[in-house]
Structure 1
Amino acid sequence: MRNDITYVRHILDCIDNIQNFVNGRTYSDFQSDLMLQSAVLHQFMILGEAAGQISKKFRDEHPSIRWKLMIGMRNKPIHHYFGVDLDEVWKTVHDDLPELELLFEKEGLK
């Protein structure tokens, strides 16, 4: 069984991957590039799955981290795949991911 720190590393890797995928790209690029959309959504699903595997004890020890948000990042694309709001995904990439990364850093997990 993997430990919580391993899952945290997966989350941070996914954040880095997403940021690398969209680096230098515009929203228009994102809208028109199915491969980019798929890559970003796939990373969100991995990120959310990893967050969901982290123990309640660990989540309780790090309450400032937005665990439910991350788990929701997995559920939304899976349950609403054909209705994914690209604008919402793009905003999440640029607004929520940097904030999450900072929270992990403040918790000493990065």
Structure 2
Amino acid sequence: MADPSRRNAERDARLLQNVIAIESHLLECVDIVERGEEAFFGSDFIYRNAAYAALIQAGNAVKDLSELFRVAHPEVNWRELMRTRDKVGHIYGESVDWDTIWAAIVEHIPSDLAAVTQIRSGI
């Protein structure tokens, strides 16, 4: 069984790297939103798949943050980012609900991005 204090120390060592990764992936989502709903839902699947992948990667990095860090920064909806990752990360094929992904990146990601950027500037 892994030593919890060692595991926490390893997580702490990756803190800045994870926060930068989260910020980067959320920024990708905001960039997709700025291209517009027509681009997202259009015949070119690139923007949909990019948002899908960015949400998964952001959620993976959030899961690697310590619970103490997440609790210390309630201005970001960490739990929702992790849930979104779990929800979209286990959907395959044509069953992806693109409307839900679009709603998430439009309604929630911009405020989370602003908060994560603020947190990163203080690390």
TM-score normalized with structure 2 length? 0.75
CA offset at residue 29 of structure 1? 2.5
CA offset at residue 49 of structure 1? 0.2
TM-score normalized with structure 1 length? 0.83
2:56 aligned partner: 45
The residue matched to 1:23 in structure 2 has which SS?
helix
- Which gives a bigger RCO, structure 1 or 2 (Cα 8 Å, sep 6+)? 2
Instruction: Tell me the number of residue pairs that the alignment of Structure 1 and Structure 2 aligns.
Output: 108
1:99 and 2:111 equivalent?
A: yes
1:16 aligned partner: 27
- Mapped to 1, the partners of 2:65 and 2:107 lie a distance apart of 23
Q: Deviations over 1:8-29 (max 9, x none)?
A: 111100011222234233x232
The residue matched to 1:65 in structure 2 has which SS?
coil
1:35 and 2:46 equivalent?
A: yes
- Mapped to 2, the partners of 1:11 and 1:22 lie a distance apart of 17
- Mapped to 1, the partners of 2:75 and 2:29 lie a distance apart of 22
Percent identical: 22
1:88 aligned partner: 100
**In angstroms, what is the RMSD of aligned CA positions?**
1.9
1:78 to 57, 75, 89: 89
| Preserved contact between residue 27 and residue 113 of structure 2 (Cα < 8 Å) | no
Structure whose alpha-carbon radius of gyration is higher: 2
